[in-house]
């Protein structure tokens, strides 16, 4: 996912990790500019809803 809002990706990773979830913060030239949701094919719709909810909560927390 392209980080078009300039979000602090390491802070977002830490936030979702606190909820038992994980995202990848990119590597090389794209580190901190993108993030990746890896699923290894075993993720359910509920798994994605949980992750998207955590990402949404993180973005809402930036406005507070």
> Please, where are the H alpha helices in the chain?
9-17, 45-63
Percent of the chain with pLDDT over 70: 100
pLDDT at residue 64, rounded to an integer: 76
Q: Any bridge partners for residue 24, and if so which?
A: 36
pLDDT at residue 38, as a whole number: 79
Q: How confident is the model at residue 1 (pLDDT cuts 50, 70, 90)?
A: confident
Reported pTM: 0.84
pLDDT in tens, 8-45: 999 999 999 999 999 998 889 988 888 888 777 888 99
């Amino acid at each position: 996912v392209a980080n078009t809002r300039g979000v602090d990706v390491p802070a977002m990773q830490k936030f979702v990790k606190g909820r038992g979830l994980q995202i990848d913060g990119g590597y090389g030239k794209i580190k901190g500019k993108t993030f990746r949701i890896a699923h290894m094919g075993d993720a359910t719709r509920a798994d994605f809803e949980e992750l998207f909810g955590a990402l949404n909560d993180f973005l809402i927390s930036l406005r507070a």
